[in-house]
Structure 1
Amino acid sequence: MKLKEFFAPKTEKVEEERDLIKFLSEVELFDNLTRNERRNLSQHLYERKYKGEEIVFKKGYPNVVMYIVKEGELQTYLDSPEGENLKTIKPKDYFGEVGLFLEEERTATIVASKDSVLLGISKRDMSRFIDEYPRAGSKILRKLASVLCTHLIRTNETLASKRDELIDLQKRLEDSESQLQELKNSQEVDKEKS
């Protein structure tokens, strides 16, 4: 065995770790961590591969793992893949983060639309990471709070817009009903005259 062949697996592992640490720096939730903090976090992650059209999880499943999309693409459905796609999830996106902190079931069904590679971290492993590295854990929690607040603000804006649309539709419906009633009354008066 040549010396180069002996060291090849170790070199490959070092390169994979370096690539993973770089990848984590590009994920919004972890972009404020130091290289060393990302390395420590990477020790708590595991990799899962999904084929295109494979279900990652269904609505109602236990929510105890957060996933980060490393490669591929996923689709989000309210109930089943036969329904309307709510959102496309791409590399560097993450989902399931709420399950790390709350005892909630999955609120949607996620399906791989292409062959995909996901990085997962369980609720228990995230808790361990936060306990072992409280400074890094604090950074992640602050970033997550910021992201969730931003989502909440956008959701409130969307709800306000939809409420305004609904009020407008209701007013138009009432106007149409009023016009229809006036037309009926006018026709009855015309019948009585003839």
Structure 2
Amino acid sequence: MYNPFKKRYNSDELALFKFLSDIKQFEHLNEDELSLFTPYMYLRKYKQNEVVFFSGDPSHALYIVKKGTVSLSISIKDEFEELAQVDSGHCFGDNSFIDGATRIYNSLVISEQAEIYVIPQINLMDILENHLEIKAKVMASIVALYNDYNRNIFKEYKSNLGFFQLGNVYRHNP
């Protein structure tokens, strides 16, 4: 049934909702739910070799790649082991959904330039605390992601008899 009072979105907003709905953490949210996040999405431009954050930094924001590529890595004996490369339509820093968390990996822009949406943790938490249905949907998606990560850990561990490449575990291939 047609509701003349239902909010209507312009083409830019609809394009942003489509972009967000393709991201695992937001895939189950409808337009009205996604619209709660958009006022807090700050587009930031990065240059090649610019650090987004280091391991150990406070987890104060969620990052969504609009354009470009970001390398996620951990430090092992003064070397960096790449876990994954994150490009357009993917997010990283999702431990910002955990209050008081710190970063567990480094993130570095490896493309010539990158455009990344930054959603501050304080705004994420405010939305989730005030909209329990959204919180349930987002958390269900995050649990599914972590289940995939665990599946990859066990698969990689079994196939390499305990010796495995962490990069093969973290990649986005369930």
Deviation of residue 164 (structure 1)?
Answer: 5.3
Report runs of 4+ in structure 1 exceeding 6 Å deviation: none
Q: Over residues 123-146 of structure 1, what are the superposed CA-to-partner deviations in whole Å (9 max), with x where a residue is unaligned?
A: 221111112322122111111111
- Aligned twin of 1:83: 80
- Residue-pair matches, total: 154
- Aligned twin of 1:147: 145
For structure 2, list consecutive stretches of 5 or more residues without a partner in the other structure: 1-9, 165-174
Kindly name which structure, 1 or 2, has the bigger radius of gyration based on alpha carbons.
Answer: 1
**Richer in helix (by share):** 1
Deviation of residue 52 (structure 1)?
Answer: 1.5
RMSD over aligned Cα atoms: 2.5
- Aligned twin of 1:28: 24
TM-score of the superposed pair, with normalisation by structure 1: 0.69
User: 1:137, 1:102 → 2: CA distance?
Assistant: 14
SS in 2 for 1:16: helix
**Structure 2 counterpart of 1:22, one-letter code:** K
For structure 1, list consecutive stretches of 5 or more residues without a partner in the other structure: 1-13, 167-194
TM-score of the superposed pair, with normalisation by structure 2: 0.77
Is the 2:157–2:163 contact (alpha carbons within 8 Å) kept by the matching residues of 1?
no
SS in 2 for 1:43: helix
Q: 1:98 aligns with which of 86, 95, 98?
A: 95
Q: Percent identity?
A: 22
Q: Over residues 101-127 of structure 1, what are the superposed CA-to-partner deviations in whole Å (9 max), with x where a residue is unaligned?
A: 153322221111121111122222111
Higher relative contact order (Cα pairs below 8 Å, separated by 6+ residues):
2
User: 1:100, 1:55 → 2: CA distance?
Assistant: 21
Matching of residue 17 in structure 1 with residue 18 in structure 2: no
Deviation of residue 160 (structure 1)?
Answer: 2.9
- Aligned twin of 2:37: 41
